[in-house]
Amino acid sequence: MNRRIDPNGTIVILTGAGISRESGLDTFRCEGGIWAQVDLEDVATPEGFQRNPKMVQDFYNARRAQLVEEKPQPNPGHLALAKLERDWPGRVLIVTQNIDNLHEEAGNKNIIHMHGELLKITCTQCDSVRPWDQDLHIDTSCPSCHNIGTLRPHVVWFGEMPLQMEEIYDALEDADLFMSIGTSGNVYPAAGFVQAVKQMGGCHSVELNLDPSNGATLFDETVYGPASEVVPAYVDALLKNG
Ligand code: BJW
């Protein structure tokens, strides 16, 4: 690490699919990843859901079942971030693009799921959001408003507004350190956060990833390797030296 961070300062950490890969969950854009298995236009757009809701429900049912039945475990990368939240004197906020629950399982409390959560559903009629660990069918009725066919996974598709954006930008504005972990930098607005922190006053930014992301040159510091190795090492140095 090439700059000391105020020990009472705010750390904002953006995570992506790469941090969960060593826990057995596929990334999207790595070789053989999710977008090599299914067409994103079919399963990750409101138009795809309108065209074929059953196909979309099946896609998310399978991924939800993987979380519920296989119970993937947080890896040392997740666990290091939980330790950072526990031991860092200042504020630590995880902003994750991931819809899995591995940051919660690791012990982090201060988490924003900007692309939603697989273990929740939402109703397009009454906007209720509730925990859900079973399959969702196109004729499941909404437990809140009892309409049929109005439930969908609580995830953010292309063309939809990511969640809690105001809170995220407020935290980025306050940040003394911005860390980006396991994300390819393809998807906005998350891919623009590194640029945003530069414009907001230039807090230190670091990318921890398997290989350089699209925005790699915008970071002040870059560390490459598997999240299970580079994240614990970076967190240890941060806790030791600030
Ligand atoms: C490891 C590792 C290991 C591997 N250790 N690392 C033209 C220009 C600019 C923007 C747009 C445009 N046209 C449309 C847009 C906007 C659009 C967008 O960005 N499109 C681009 C594709 C061009 N974005 C949107 O529509 C978003 N909404 C929006 O913009 O609203 C308007 C708005 C604007 C400004 C402010 C506020 C609002 C919504 C995006 C929704 C994304 N949804 C998905 C799917 C839903 C959830 C799900 O099914 O899971 O979210 S897409 C998918 O990509 C998923 C992910 O969260 C997201 C990011 O992927 P991620 O995490 O980066 O994964 P990968 O696979 O890409 O990368 C993995 C990385 O890990 C790699 O780098 C590996 O090297 C690394 N890795 N193993 C460490 N062991």
Q: On the CB side of 64, how many CA atoms lie within 13 Å of its CA? A: 23
pLDDT at 236 over 80: yes
Cα separations (Å) of 90 from 93, 128, 197? 10, 33, 18
Q: What is the DSSP string of 107-130?
A: T--SEEETTEEEEEEEETTT--EE
Active-site pick, 115, 137, 146, 154: 115
Q: Is 48 in the pocket of ligand 1 (CB under 6 A)?
A: no
| Ligand 1 nearest atom to the CA of residue 77, by list position | 5
Q: What angle do CA 138, 140, 145 make, to 5 degrees?
A: 120
3-state secondary structure of 164: coil
Closest ligand 1 atom to residue 188 Cα is 19
Ligand 1 neighbourhood includes 96 CB (under 6 angstroms)? no
| Percent of the chain clearing pLDDT 90 (strictly above) | 95
DSSP assignment of 35-76, as one string? HHHS-HHHHSSHHHHHH-HHHHHHHHHHHHHIIIII-PPP-H
Identify the band that residue 151 occupies on the pLDDT scale cut at 50, 70 and 90: very high
Q: Ligand 1, atom 54: nearest CA belongs to which residue?
A: 187
Q: Is the peptide bond before 189 cis (omega within 30 degrees of 0)?
A: yes
Q: Which pLDDT tens digit goes with each residue over 108-143?
A: 999 999 999 999 999 999 999 999 999 999 999 999
115 is known as an active-site residue: yes
Half-sphere exposure of 35 (CA within 13 A, CB side): 10
Alpha carbon distance 233, 164 (integer Å): 30
Closest residue by CA, ligand 1 atom 16: 188
Give pLDDT, residue 5: 87
Residue 157 contacts residue 28 (beta carbons within 8 Å): no
pLDDT at 1 over 70: no
Q: pLDDT for 177-228, tens place per residue? A: 999 999 999 999 999 999 999 999 889 999 999 999 999 999 999 999 999 9
136 contact partners, CB below 8 Å, separation of at least 6 = 57, 60, 61, 64, 121, 151, 152, 153
pLDDT tens by residue, 8-53: 999 999 999 999 999 999 999 999 999 999 999 999 999 999 999 9
**pLDDT tier at 7 (50, 70, 90 boundaries)?**
confident
Is the pLDDT at 242 greater than 80, yes or no?
A: no
Beta strands in the chain (DSSP E): 10-15, 92-96, 111-113, 116-123, 129-131, 151-155, 175-181, 204-209, 221-224
- The DSSP symbol for 140 reads P
Taking alpha carbons only, the member of 102, 110, 221 closest to residue 174 is 110
Which of 25, 27, 230, when mutated, tests ligand 1's pocket best, judged by the most ligand atoms within 8 Å of its CB? Answer: 27
Cross-strand partners of 154: 117
